[in-house]
Structure 1
Amino acid sequence: MTTLAKEEHALREEMVRIAASFFQRGYATGSAGNLSLLLPDGNILATPTGSCLGNLDPQRLSKVDPQGEWLSGDKPSKEVRFHLALYHNNPCCKAVVHLHSTWSTALSCLEGLDPQNVIRPFTPYVVMRMGDIPLVPYYRPGDDRIARDLAALAARHQAFLLANHGPVVCGENLQEAANNTEELEETAKLIFILGERPIRYLTTEEIAQLRR
């Protein structure tokens, strides 16, 4: 087995492990959500269409080229197009996680979110790990406008919320993208737990310190 093949094998196993962890802990249900990562050869490995994140086969994961042409494995999700938009427009993006996780998706359904940043900072971690999280307007799943809008935002952001749909999070590797997705999910949960109680938000200076 060549070095490149060994690296791809390890990345396939990692994707299956991380996907199963999401499913086992309730971050993903049924066949909802998709993951992808950039392979050393420049192609993209992604979870197949209609697949359950809790029951993936590493040998059946979808492989597509940078233009989205299906190369091997099971058929890729139609949403792989917006994953490609992120890879093409953010050189730091090496992996993407998209879930329909409960609390982040609930947040995405609220009226009145700031489209520039859906979470006004009240803990340091979202600021430190993801920065501002813009809102992408609602489009039917698979609509090319999701990819278009993410492409326009990709260079300046690492995480996004698709309105009435769910989170999309980038990372320098799949584990980082997964960790940041969980941070976003738990922060969204805190928003609902706090409800109408008065919140002490971070000040402008406190936020600036976190970004230095």
Structure 2
Amino acid sequence: MSVSTDPAAQVTDPVAALIAAGRELVEAGLSPGSSGNVSVRDGDRVLISGTGTSLGRLTPDGIAEVSLDGTHLGGARSSKETPLHTAFYQREDGYRAVVHVHSPHAVALACLAPWAAHNAVPPLTPYFVMRVGQAPLLPYRHPGDPALGDDLLAAPWPLRAALLANHGAVVAGASLDEAVDRATELEEACRIALLTAGSERHELAPGNIRELADRWGSPWTPEP
């Protein structure tokens, strides 16, 4: 798998974009060690970082090509978390990139009881509502369990991010830049939630949340 040497072509080159996204996630502290994986949808195929690959040292040889149902088509051995990625692409056609990370604050919050059934993260800042929207806590499955993808597909709420119990976070976007930005914002929201845990904190009012979600087109299910 090769990367184009034409600078104009690299703007839309999915391999180059994956490599850049991996480095950005590592530099932001969201992907320690060889954890995490990234993917981009390119037509009817998905390019995803290979299993055991450090995102900060991702190369074209470390990228796998799979179909939308996860069938390996070429390149490196695909990540064991491929079902998580393909589930997002199957769930909504507009998603073109998925980021899965074991960022520390997202993992820590995923070890706690969720704020609500439809959202694990308390709505403390407008930026979380605007940029991420609700992020439910999906059940624990061992890493690589194909049922992780089944859980994501079966989630009854609109979403573009989720926490995986005792595991990490998965985020989708219309582009890799958008998915990385959302993963970063989700990690920040989890950090703020942990910093304020046990304190008398002031969450955003339901009316404020609804106004933000409507204005920014963010998924948010009203509490019953």
Instruction: Note if contact 1:86-1:154 (Cα within 8 Å) is conserved in structure 2.
Output: no
TM-score when normalising by structure 1? 0.91
Structure 1 window deviating more from structure 2 (170-179 vs 70-79): it is: 70-79
Q: Name the stretch that deviates more: 56-65 or 45-54.
A: 56-65
Corresponding residue for 1:66? 68
Q: 2:26 maps to what in 1? A: 23
The 3 A distance-change label for structure 1 pair 45 and 155 is farther
* 3-state DSSP of counterpart to 1:156: coil
Matches within 5 A, 1:96-115: 96-111=98-113, 113-115=115-117
List aligned pairs for 1:1-80, cutoff 5 A: 6=9, 10-39=13-42, 41-80=43-82
User: C-alpha separation between the residues in 2 aligned to 1:150 and 1:112?
Assistant: 16
Q: Is the 8 A contact 1:90 1:154 kept in 2?
A: no
Secondary structure, counterpart of 1:179 in structure 2? helix
Asked whether the 8 Å contact 1:19–1:53 carries over to 2, the reply is yes
* Residues 94 and 170, structure 1, Cα contact 8 Å, conserved in 2: yes
SS in 1 for 2:90: helix
Report % sequence identity.
35
Describe the shift of the 1:14–1:150 C-alpha distance in structure 2 as closer, same or farther (beyond 3 A): same
* Structure-2 residue corresponding to 1:149: 151
C-alpha deviation, 1:126, in angstroms: 1.4
- Is 2:197 the counterpart of 1:198? no
TM-superposed deviation, 1:164: 0.3
Match for 1:201: what amino acid?
Answer: E
**Which runs of 5 or more structure 2 residues have no equivalent in the other structure?**
215-224
Cα distance change of structure 1 residues 43 and 49 upon mapping to structure 2, 3 Å threshold: same
Shift of the alpha carbon at 1:115? 2.9
Q: Which has the higher helix share?
A: 1
SS of the residue aligned with 2:56? Answer: coil
Secondary structure at the aligned position of 2:188 is classed as helix
5+ unaligned residues in a row in structure 1: which ranges? none
Which letter maps to 1:26? G
Which segment drifts farther, 106-115 or 120-129?
A: 106-115
CA distance in 2 between counterparts of 1:155 and 1:49 reads: 30
- 2:122 and 2:138 map into 1 onto residues whose CA distance is 16
Q: Where does residue 219 of structure 2 map in the other structure?
A: none
C-alpha root-mean-square deviation of aligned residues, in Å? Answer: 2.0
Task: Spell out the pairing of 1:177-188 with structure 2 (5 A cutoff).
Answer: 177-188=179-190
Render the CA deviation track for 1:169-210: whole Å, top value 9, x for unaligned: 010011100000000001111112223221111111111111
Greater shift after overlay, 178-187 or 60-69?
60-69
| Contact 1:104-1:184 at 8 Å conserved across structures | yes
Please say if residues 140 and 166 of structure 2, whose CA atoms lie closer than 8 Å, have aligned partners that are also in contact.
Answer: yes
